[in-house]
């Protein structure tokens, strides 16, 4: 039997990280086993539906790298794929249950309007083998007669989902653990019609770093996939990261491509423990994907973030130099703005620790010569700057750390970072000379204090 899975969002909001995880695992299950992945829209909660909710779901599922065989957009052999377009189908099956004596009408007082309730069997045990949790058992006495059709003609979730899954030939249902208690109600409907019950898998919750359930009120974590796109996370990195929220591939390597993740997916390796949303891990994974980009590609990807921040792109060559300088330090594309602003900041300061280091290396003569040579350097390019650094070290007998740390401190205020000549060329001659001059003045100040 061909595997068929579905992701069935409600258009009551945008694609949340938890729903994205459900969609991704459902997709992986279908793709791993050579099956079909279907998207169905459960839009019966009309009061909470938002205008662009459905559009957002499709946009960001596509952005993440998911593709599907059937949906309200592409259509398919088992449509319609929106529940509001299937109301006559639900009514038909609800009436069949009434005719079989397995459901009954419940009239509103002093009204001819009625809801339809399912008649729960007495003393019956419902057992199913969950993909994630193993065997689970419920007793019918724990469930009261429940409404399958509201008096508005709208089906309830537990009724509609069974009708849809059966008619769409869904074989496997992966969803969040909050749906576990819905399963016996759904099994009742399957059994009432004599239909095959799909295989269920209930994934554990996602928790934050305090081990509390991730909620939309949690301000420490970006909640919606759109926010990750806006911040400059790469879709390939998000696909990779989300696939690890409750699943562990074999081996040590966790940086896996789209196709590698599909191949590695194994339902037996879905975790029974809550999945922690580790922001540090996400930043690391995204930085790895950024490093894999070609410089030209990365240059184009950061442009919108610089433009939005009103940062002037001096030239294409300048932008390429900027990207090459910060590529290894970027955790997300939008961080280019923060790094730029720190790098070109007018508030250049040398802290006391750095000054003591300059004093320890006896750097004054080196920096004075360095400043003089740079002042006379006409072509302020990285190769020429590199030559000046070496010449200054040779002439003052500074080498290794004693050369490279003081010159870097004088220009950037730090002892390490990206290529110093490239950094200086990007900063420009005026800023570099100003910073070295300021550093020399401070260094002279602490040396002056020593003698007076």
Residues designated as active site: 216
Max distance between CA atoms of the chain, in angstroms, equals 105
Say if residue 225 is exposed, middle or buried (CB neighbours under 10 Å; 0-12, 13-18, 19+). buried
CA 247 to chain centre: 15
Closest CA to 152 of 110, 117, 119, 116: 116
The number of C-alpha atoms within 13 Å of 443 and in the hemisphere containing its C-beta is: 26
Closest CA to 37 of 187, 212, 170: 170
| Cβ count near 46 (within 10 Å) | 10
CA distance 287 to 158: 42
Residue with structure tokens 């695992």? 25
54 Cβ neighbours under 8 A, 6+ residues apart: 11, 41, 43, 72
Say if residue 182 is exposed, middle or buried (CB neighbours under 10 Å; 0-12, 13-18, 19+). middle
CA distance 299 to 294: 9
Cis peptide leading into 35, omega within 30 of 0? no
Closest CA to 117 of 133, 108, 106: 106
């Amino acid at each position: 039997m061909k595997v068929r899975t579905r992701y069935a969002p409600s258009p009551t909001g945008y694609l949340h990280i938890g729903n994205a995880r459900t969609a991704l695992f459902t997709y992986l299950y279908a793709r791993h086993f050579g099956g079909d992945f279907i998207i169905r829209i459960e839009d019966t909660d009309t009061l909470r539906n938002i205008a662009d909710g459905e559009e957002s779901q499709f946009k960001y599922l596509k952005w993440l790298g998911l593709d599907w065989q059937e949906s309200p957009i592409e259509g398919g052999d088992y449509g319609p794929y929106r529940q509001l377009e299937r109301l006559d189908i639900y009514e038909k099956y609800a009436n069949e249950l009434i005719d079989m004596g397995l459901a009954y009408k419940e009239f509103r007082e002093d009204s001819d309007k009625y809801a339809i309730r399912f008649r729960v069997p007495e003393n019956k045990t419902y057992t199913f083998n969950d993909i994630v949790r193993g065997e689970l058992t419920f007793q019918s006495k724990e469930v009261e007669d429940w409404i399958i059709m509201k008096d508005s003609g709208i089906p309830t979730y537990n009724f509609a989902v069974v009708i849809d899954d059966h008619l769409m030939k869904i074989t496997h249902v992966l969803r969040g653990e909050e749906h576990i208690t819905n399963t016996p109600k759904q099994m009742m409907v399957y059994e009432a019609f004599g239909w095959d019950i799909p295989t269920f898998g209930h994934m554990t919750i996602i928790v934050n770093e305090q081990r509390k359930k991730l909620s939309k009120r949690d301000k420490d974590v970006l909640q919606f996939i759109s926010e990750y796109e806006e911040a400059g996370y790469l879709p390939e990195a998000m696909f990779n990261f989300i696939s690890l929220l409750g699943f562990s591939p074999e081996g040590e390597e966790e940086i896996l491509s789209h196709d590698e993740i599909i191949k590695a997916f194994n339902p037996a390796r879905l975790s029974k423990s809550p999945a922690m949303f580790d922001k540090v891990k996400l930043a690391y994974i995204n930085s790895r994907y950024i490093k894999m980009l070609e410089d030209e590609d990365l240059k184009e990807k950061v442009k919108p973030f610089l433009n939005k921040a009103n940062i002037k792109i001096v030239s294409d060559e300048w932008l390429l130099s900027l990207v090459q300088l910060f590529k290894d330090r970027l955790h997300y594309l939008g961080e280019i703005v923060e790094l730029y602003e720190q790098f070109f900041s007018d508030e250049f300061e040398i802290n006391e620790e750095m000054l003591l280091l300059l004093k320890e290396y006896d750097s004054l003569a080196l920096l004075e010569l360095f400043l003089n040579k740079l002042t006379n350097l006409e072509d302020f390019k990285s190769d020429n700057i590199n030559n000046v650094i070496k010449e200054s070290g040779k002439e003052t007998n500074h080498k290794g750390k004693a050369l490279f740390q003081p010159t870097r401190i004088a220009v950037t205020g730090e002892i390490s970072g990206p290529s110093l000549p490239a950094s200086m060329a990007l900063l420009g001659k005026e800023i570099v000379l100003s910073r070295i001059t300021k550093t020399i003045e401070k260094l002279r100040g602490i040396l002056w204090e020593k003698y007076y």
